[in-house]
């Protein structure tokens, strides 16, 4: 049941309600509560094919600076955001990350993605350093012994929650004065910058845990646009002081 809403509804909201109603109808039919799957032919509105713009390098630097300047659990929050930007992991994967699943020697961590699928994700030198500093200098012992293997804990010694991480992002967003900043946008930003910096789509697919290349191709398209913009700014010939004085075809001597 949903409360009545006034005004226009977002197409994404309507699409979500439609999916829920159709799934419920299928369940009721399969369980024998309905003689017919009445919502089987329900057509869902087509969602616009939009993709969030990744954060710029300047925005990323402002965000990281804000984290380090903060006085409240700054090493933890800095390590969290570094991991998001450096690995593209999901919020759920970060919240449930275990110390025993991080190989600091190799620079790799094992996460459990959608469908409880396990995969290995490489971690860069700077992110690994941030993680070690948090664990050795700021992280306190867990209140409950069974939580000792959790990487990220609250100041009270309890495992962090999805909500607490989202609140960190909101606080950083306001302090850094960026329009949008949330864990999934950090995942988008990692993906695009990984490709722009020379990574390939197949390795990105493995890092992100995508089952197909369909989603990864969208990042490739975004990265291509970023490359074009970079070329406009840093084109070797456009930035060369040389200017041709004659552009016509040279005449052949008789």
Output the furthest CA–CA distance in the chain (Å, rounded): 95
Catalytic site includes residue 171: no
Q: Which of 90, 128, 139, 193 is catalytic?
A: 90
Rounded to 10 deg, the angle between the 183-196 and 201-208 helix axes is: 160
Task: Quickly tell me which residue has 């990984």 as its tokens.
Answer: 194
Provide φ and ψ at 66, rounded to 5°. Answer: -60, -40
Cα dihedral 70→75→81→83 (10° resolution) = 170
Out of 187, 188, 193, 194, which one is annotated catalytic? 187
Catalytic annotation present for 74 = no
Q: Of residues 184, 206, 217, 228, which has the active-site annotation?
A: 184
Active site residue 13: no
Quick one: tokens of 174?
């306001």
Question: Would residue 98 show up in a list of annotated catalytic residues for this protein?
Answer: no
Separation between Cα atoms, residue 169 and residue 79, nearest integer Å: 13
Q: Which of 22, 128, 139, 210 is catalytic?
A: 210
219 in active site:
yes
- What tokens appear for 151 in the block? 């990487």
Range 176-182, long-range pairs (CB < 8 A, 24+ positions): 176/59, 176/62, 176/63, 176/65, 176/66, 177/62, 178/55, 178/59, 178/62, 178/63, 180/52, 181/55, 181/63
How far apart are the C-alpha atoms of 147 and 159, rounded to whole Å?
A: 7
Name the active-site residue from 114, 120, 162, 231. 114
Residue 233 annotated in active site: no
Cβ proximity of 165 and 95 under 8 Å: yes
Annotated catalytic residues are: 90, 114, 184, 187, 210, 219
């Amino acid at each position: 049941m949903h409360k009545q809403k006034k005004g226009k509804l977002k197409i994404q909201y309507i699409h979500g309600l439609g999916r829920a109603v159709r799934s419920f109808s299928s369940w009721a039919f399969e369980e024998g509560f309905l003689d017919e799957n009445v919502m089987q032919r329900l057509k869902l509105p087509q969602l616009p094919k939009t993709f969030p713009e990744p954060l710029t390098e300047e925005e990323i630097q402002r965000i990281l600076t804000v984290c380090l300047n903060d006085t409240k659990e700054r090493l933890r929050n800095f390590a969290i955001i570094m991991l998001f930007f450096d690995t593209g992991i999901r919020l759920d994967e970060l919240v449930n990350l275990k110390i025993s699943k991080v190989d600091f020697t190799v620079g790799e961590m094992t996460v459990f993605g959608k469908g409880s699928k396990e995969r290995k994700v490489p971690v860069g030198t700077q992110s690994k350093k941030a993680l070690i500093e948090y664990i050795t200098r700021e992280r306190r012992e867990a209140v409950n012994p069974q939580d000792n293997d959790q990487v990220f804990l609250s100041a009270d010694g309890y495992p962090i929650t999805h909500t607490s991480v989202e609140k960190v992002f909101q606080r950083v967003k306001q302090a850094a004065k960026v329009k949008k900043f949330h864990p999934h946008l950090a995942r988008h930003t990692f993906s695009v910058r990984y490709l722009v910096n020379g990574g390939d789509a197949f390795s990105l697919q493995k890092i992100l845990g995508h089952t197909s290349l369909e989603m990864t191709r969208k990042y490739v398209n975004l990265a291509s646009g970023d490359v074009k913009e970079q070329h406009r700014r840093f084109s070797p010939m456009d930035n060369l002081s040389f200017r041709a004085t004659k552009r016509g075809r040279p005449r052949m001597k008789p």
